[in-house]
Amino acid sequence: MEGATTLSELLRFARGRLTVPYIDDPALEARMIVEHFSGISRADAISSPDRLIPAEALVAIDAALRRRLAHEPIHRIFGRREFYGLDLLLSPETLEPRPDTETLVEAMLPVISETVARKGECRILDLGTGTGAIALALLSKIEQAVATGVDISEGALETAALNAGRLGLGERFTPVRSDWFANIFEQYDAIVSNPPYIPATHIDSLQADVRDFDPRGALDGGEDGLDAYRLISEGAHRCLAAGGTIGVEIGYDQKDAVTGIFQRAGYRLINAARDLAGNDRVLMFQESRPEDA
């Protein structure tokens, strides 16, 4: 990074280094890295491109560029990612929350509001909570809701609890270590989950930034990718309150298979939603009624 002393020189240098086939927008990522580690805002960058960059920022930027060139996703390098307007900390044990998952939050919000209108509160169970993304997004929008975030990973739960506290939601979020429903003994009005759903045999062919940096336990859905849906649909009856709703994220080609799994377990599909790219992404179920038989 020798000679890269002014902001504009540094940006040019960083963009050049990130110009490799697997980075779609090197200019954007260069700007994000430089701004993040130099503390310079976008407005400062525009108004004073000749400002000098302190040596310690240059060291941090150089280290970040090396990590990015080793395929590490940019938000993992920053250690945080925005989800549904919330600033969430990441850790090696958490999946990096994706914008597609905001589809599940959007789809479930009306259900949570309706439950609050009916019962004065809404109890949410988030299975495989990771950073806490889904539960915390729902809690941030609906004050009368409380959530239990379940994960099998202790490390993920620590990050979820930290995120809840930082966002001022700690009093309404309870982390519980559990293999799906194993340690869950109460009933919930809404069960939400973005479970691992990638077929095990596909994982090695994923892009390196997903395969090597998201935890395998957050991706691997078993042989056909559907193991978690089978377990969740079987276990949910005991923990779903009367009239409650289950909302799950799915892979783009899993709508029919997951609908079949839930129907065979005694649920009916009440809603389906697509993500911004138009892919099937969310399915919502309630327990079947006698007239559905």
Binding of residue 196 to ligand SAM (CB under 6 A): yes
Helix, strand or coil for residue 124?
A: strand
Residue 222 falls in which region: left (phi positive, over 0), alpha (psi -120 to 50) or beta: left
Alpha helices in the chain (DSSP H): 7-17, 26-38, 42-47, 55-69, 74-78, 102-119, 133-141, 154-166, 208-211, 227-239, 255-264
Return the residue of 73, 130, 175, 235 that touches ligand SAM, per CB under 6 A: 130
Return the residue of 194, 245, 254, 259 that touches ligand SAM, per CB under 6 A: 194
Dihedral, 23, 26, 31, 37 alpha carbons, nearest 10: 50
Binding of residue 153 to ligand SAM (CB under 6 A): yes
Return the residue of 97, 235, 247, 251 that touches ligand SAM, per CB under 6 A: 97
Residue at shortest CB range from ligand SAM: 128
Q: What is the distance between the alpha carbons of residues 12 and 29, in angstroms, rounded to a whole number?
A: 12
Quick one: which of 251, 238, 237 has its CA closest to 285?
Answer: 237
Residue 259 C-beta: closest distance to ligand SAM, Å: 19
Binding of residue 222 to ligand SAM (CB under 6 A): no
Of how many residues is the chain composed? 293
Q: What is the distance between the alpha carbons of residues 134 and 193, in angstroms, rounded to a whole number?
A: 8
Please identify, among the stretches 33-41, 126-134, 235-243, 265-273, the one whose residues bind ligand SAM according to the rule CB under 6 A.
126-134
Q: Is residue 221 part of an annotated ligand binding site?
A: no
Give me the 3-42 binding string for ligand SAM, x by CB under 6 A, dash otherwise: ----------------------------------------
Return the residue of 128, 175, 235, 247 that touches ligand SAM, per CB under 6 A: 128
Q: What is the distance between the alpha carbons of residues 77 and 70, in angstroms, rounded to a whole number?
A: 11
Binding of residue 134 to ligand SAM (CB under 6 A): yes
If you count DSSP H runs as helices and E runs as strands, how many of each does the chain have, helices first?
A: 11, 9
Please identify, among the stretches 3-11, 108-116, 147-155, 261-269, the one whose residues bind ligand SAM according to the rule CB under 6 A.
147-155
Burial label, 31 (beta-carbon count in 10 A; 0-12, 13-18, 19+) = middle
Binding of residue 151 to ligand SAM (CB under 6 A): yes
**What tokens were used for 128?**
């495989």
Return the residue of 125, 156, 248, 265 that touches ligand SAM, per CB under 6 A: 156
Quick one: which of 182, 136, 140 has its CA closest to 160?
Answer: 136
Number of amino acids touching ligand SAM (CB under 6 A): 21
Residue with tokens 């004065």: 120
Is the CB of 194 or the CB of 259 nearer to ligand SAM? 194
Return the residue of 217, 222, 230, 269 that touches ligand SAM, per CB under 6 A: 217
Q: Is residue 196 part of an annotated ligand binding site?
A: yes
Query: Annotated binding site for S-adenosyl-L-methionine: which residue ranges?
Result: 128-132, 151, 180, 194
The residue ranges that bind ligand SAM (CB under 6 A) are: 95, 97, 101, 128-131, 133-134, 150-153, 156, 179-180, 194-196, 217-218
Query: Annotated binding site for substrate: which residue ranges?
Result: 194-197
